[in-house]
Amino acid sequence: MKTLTKALVAGCLALATAGAALAQDNPKVGGAAMFADKTIVENAMNSADHTTLVAAVQAAGLAETLQGEGPFTVFAPTNAAFAALPAGTVETLLKPENKDTLVKILTCHVVGAKAMAADVQKMIADDGGKHVIETLGGCKITAEVKGDMVTLTDETGGMATVTIADVVQSNGVIHVIDKVLLPAG
Protein backbone atom coordinates (compact mmCIF):
# COMPACT_ATOMS: atom_id res chain seq x y z
CA MET A 1 0.00 0.00 0.00
CA LYS A 2 2.86 2.40 0.84
CA THR A 3 4.42 1.72 -2.58
CA LEU A 4 1.12 2.46 -4.34
CA THR A 5 0.67 5.68 -2.35
CA LYS A 6 4.23 6.78 -3.13
CA ALA A 7 3.67 6.03 -6.83
CA LEU A 8 0.42 8.04 -6.85
CA VAL A 9 2.06 10.99 -5.10
CA ALA A 10 5.01 10.87 -7.51
CA GLY A 11 2.62 10.72 -10.47
CA CYS A 12 0.60 13.68 -9.19
CA LEU A 13 3.78 15.70 -8.66
CA ALA A 14 4.96 14.87 -12.18
CA LEU A 15 1.61 15.99 -13.64
CA ALA A 16 1.64 19.19 -11.60
CA THR A 17 5.18 19.95 -12.74
CA ALA A 18 4.29 19.29 -16.39
CA GLY A 19 1.25 21.54 -16.09
CA ALA A 20 3.35 24.31 -14.59
CA ALA A 21 5.86 24.00 -17.44
CA LEU A 22 3.09 24.39 -20.02
CA ALA A 23 1.66 27.37 -18.17
CA GLN A 24 5.05 29.07 -18.04
CA ASP A 25 4.92 32.84 -17.73
CA ASN A 26 5.55 33.73 -21.35
CA PRO A 27 5.28 37.41 -22.22
CA LYS A 28 2.29 38.48 -24.29
CA VAL A 29 3.14 39.32 -27.87
CA GLY A 30 0.91 41.47 -30.03
CA GLY A 31 -1.69 41.47 -27.28
CA ALA A 32 -1.96 37.68 -27.34
CA ALA A 33 -0.93 35.06 -24.83
CA MET A 34 1.95 32.91 -26.03
CA PHE A 35 1.77 29.27 -25.02
CA ALA A 36 4.88 27.18 -24.38
CA ASP A 37 3.03 24.08 -25.61
CA LYS A 38 2.30 25.57 -29.06
CA THR A 39 4.64 25.83 -32.03
CA ILE A 40 6.27 28.97 -33.34
CA VAL A 41 3.71 29.25 -36.15
CA GLU A 42 0.72 28.58 -33.90
CA ASN A 43 1.74 31.34 -31.50
CA ALA A 44 2.78 33.82 -34.22
CA MET A 45 -0.64 33.45 -35.84
CA ASN A 46 -2.20 34.80 -32.63
CA SER A 47 0.01 37.91 -32.45
CA ALA A 48 -1.56 41.06 -33.90
CA ASP A 49 2.01 42.39 -34.30
CA HIS A 50 3.12 39.56 -36.59
CA THR A 51 0.47 39.30 -39.32
CA THR A 52 2.97 40.35 -41.99
CA LEU A 53 5.51 37.80 -40.78
CA VAL A 54 2.88 35.05 -40.79
CA ALA A 55 1.77 36.01 -44.33
CA ALA A 56 5.40 35.97 -45.47
CA VAL A 57 6.10 32.59 -43.84
CA GLN A 58 3.03 31.15 -45.56
CA ALA A 59 3.94 32.69 -48.94
CA ALA A 60 7.47 31.29 -48.62
CA GLY A 61 6.17 27.80 -47.82
CA LEU A 62 7.98 27.77 -44.47
CA ALA A 63 4.98 27.26 -42.17
CA GLU A 64 5.33 23.48 -42.14
CA THR A 65 9.04 23.71 -41.36
CA LEU A 66 8.50 26.13 -38.47
CA GLN A 67 5.79 23.87 -37.07
CA GLY A 68 8.30 21.01 -37.08
CA GLU A 69 10.20 19.57 -34.15
CA GLY A 70 13.03 22.10 -34.17
CA PRO A 71 14.52 23.38 -32.03
CA PHE A 72 14.48 26.81 -33.62
CA THR A 73 15.27 30.31 -32.48
CA VAL A 74 13.30 32.86 -34.49
CA PHE A 75 14.10 36.55 -34.45
CA ALA A 76 10.57 37.71 -35.31
CA PRO A 77 10.20 41.14 -36.92
CA THR A 78 6.99 43.00 -36.15
CA ASN A 79 4.55 44.46 -38.66
CA ALA A 80 6.16 47.87 -38.00
CA ALA A 81 9.56 46.41 -38.91
CA PHE A 82 8.20 45.22 -42.27
CA ALA A 83 6.42 48.57 -42.78
CA ALA A 84 9.76 50.38 -42.34
CA LEU A 85 11.12 48.68 -45.48
CA PRO A 86 11.01 50.81 -48.64
CA ALA A 87 7.49 51.25 -50.05
CA GLY A 88 6.31 48.24 -52.04
CA THR A 89 9.01 45.87 -50.73
CA VAL A 90 6.68 43.55 -48.81
CA GLU A 91 4.16 43.39 -51.64
CA THR A 92 6.94 42.57 -54.11
CA LEU A 93 8.42 39.89 -51.85
CA LEU A 94 5.03 38.18 -51.43
CA LYS A 95 4.70 37.60 -55.20
CA PRO A 96 5.24 33.95 -56.22
CA GLU A 97 8.10 34.86 -58.57
CA ASN A 98 10.06 36.27 -55.59
CA LYS A 99 9.65 33.23 -53.35
CA ASP A 100 13.39 32.38 -53.35
CA THR A 101 14.30 35.88 -52.15
CA LEU A 102 11.57 35.77 -49.51
CA VAL A 103 12.80 32.38 -48.25
CA LYS A 104 16.35 33.73 -48.03
CA ILE A 105 15.26 36.77 -46.02
CA LEU A 106 13.03 34.79 -43.67
CA THR A 107 15.58 32.05 -43.02
CA CYS A 108 18.06 34.79 -42.09
CA HIS A 109 15.85 35.19 -39.00
CA VAL A 110 16.01 31.51 -37.97
CA VAL A 111 18.71 29.61 -36.07
CA GLY A 112 18.69 25.81 -35.84
CA ALA A 113 18.97 25.74 -32.04
CA LYS A 114 17.09 27.00 -29.02
CA ALA A 115 19.00 30.05 -27.78
CA MET A 116 17.50 31.82 -24.80
CA ALA A 117 18.53 35.43 -24.09
CA ALA A 118 20.95 34.32 -21.37
CA ASP A 119 22.62 31.95 -23.87
CA VAL A 120 23.00 34.74 -26.44
CA GLN A 121 24.35 37.15 -23.82
CA LYS A 122 26.88 34.53 -22.65
CA MET A 123 28.06 33.95 -26.24
CA ILE A 124 28.47 37.71 -26.66
CA ALA A 125 30.46 37.99 -23.41
CA ASP A 126 32.57 34.93 -24.23
CA ASP A 127 33.47 36.46 -27.61
CA GLY A 128 34.57 39.79 -26.18
CA GLY A 129 31.41 41.81 -26.79
CA LYS A 130 30.23 40.56 -30.19
CA HIS A 131 29.05 37.16 -31.32
CA VAL A 132 28.40 36.14 -34.93
CA ILE A 133 25.34 33.92 -35.33
CA GLU A 134 24.94 31.85 -38.48
CA THR A 135 21.33 31.43 -39.52
CA LEU A 136 19.61 28.65 -41.44
CA GLY A 137 19.59 31.01 -44.44
CA GLY A 138 23.38 31.19 -44.34
CA CYS A 139 23.33 34.80 -43.12
CA LYS A 140 25.69 35.98 -40.44
CA ILE A 141 24.18 38.34 -37.90
CA THR A 142 26.25 39.96 -35.19
CA ALA A 143 24.79 40.04 -31.69
CA GLU A 144 25.90 42.67 -29.17
CA VAL A 145 24.64 44.07 -25.90
CA LYS A 146 24.07 47.83 -26.01
CA GLY A 147 22.93 49.22 -22.70
CA ASP A 148 20.56 46.58 -21.43
CA MET A 149 19.35 45.51 -24.88
CA VAL A 150 20.57 42.84 -27.28
CA THR A 151 21.05 44.13 -30.82
CA LEU A 152 21.48 42.18 -34.04
CA THR A 153 23.34 43.64 -37.00
CA ASP A 154 22.64 42.09 -40.39
CA GLU A 155 25.00 41.71 -43.35
CA THR A 156 23.94 45.09 -44.76
CA GLY A 157 24.73 46.95 -41.52
CA GLY A 158 21.09 47.25 -40.47
CA MET A 159 20.53 46.89 -36.74
CA ALA A 160 17.55 45.35 -34.97
CA THR A 161 16.88 45.44 -31.24
CA VAL A 162 15.33 42.55 -29.34
CA THR A 163 12.20 44.11 -27.83
CA ILE A 164 10.71 40.96 -26.27
CA ALA A 165 13.00 38.05 -25.42
CA ASP A 166 12.46 34.44 -24.42
CA VAL A 167 8.99 33.69 -25.75
CA VAL A 168 9.16 29.92 -25.23
CA GLN A 169 7.55 27.64 -27.83
CA SER A 170 7.13 23.87 -27.98
CA ASN A 171 9.76 23.78 -30.73
CA GLY A 172 12.08 26.58 -29.69
CA VAL A 173 11.99 30.24 -28.76
CA ILE A 174 11.00 33.55 -30.32
CA HIS A 175 12.74 36.87 -29.74
CA VAL A 176 10.70 39.79 -31.10
CA ILE A 177 12.79 42.35 -33.03
CA ASP A 178 12.08 45.82 -34.38
CA LYS A 179 13.74 45.55 -37.82
CA VAL A 180 13.85 43.08 -40.69
CA LEU A 181 17.29 41.47 -41.00
CA LEU A 182 18.55 41.42 -44.58
CA PRO A 183 21.17 39.27 -46.30
CA ALA A 184 24.06 40.82 -48.20
CA GLY A 185 23.09 40.93 -51.86
What is the pLDDT, as a whole number, of residue 24?
53
* Superfamily of chain region 27-177: FAS1 domain (2.30.180.10)
Q: Which amino acid is at 8?
A: L
With a cut of 70, list the residues of the chain below it in pLDDT. 1-24
Question: What is the three-class DSSP state of 143?
Answer: strand
Question: CA-CA distance, 88 to 105, in Å (whole number)?
Answer: 16
Return the ∠ at Cα 104 (arms to 113 and 79), rounded to 5°. 85
CB contact at 8 A, 114 and 173: yes
Question: CA-CA distance, 45 to 54, in Å (whole number)?
Answer: 6
What is the pLDDT, as a whole number, of residue 1?
44
The β-bridge relationship of strands 140-146 and 149-153 is antiparallel
DSSP letters along 69-126, please? Answer: S--EEEEEE-HHHHHTSPTTHHHHHTSGGGHHHHHHHHHTTEESS---HHHHHHHHHH
Instruction: Provide the residue ranges of all domains of the chain, joining segments of one domain with +.
Output: 27-177
- Considering the entire predicted model, what is its pTM? 0.84
What is the pLDDT, as a whole number, of residue 94?
93
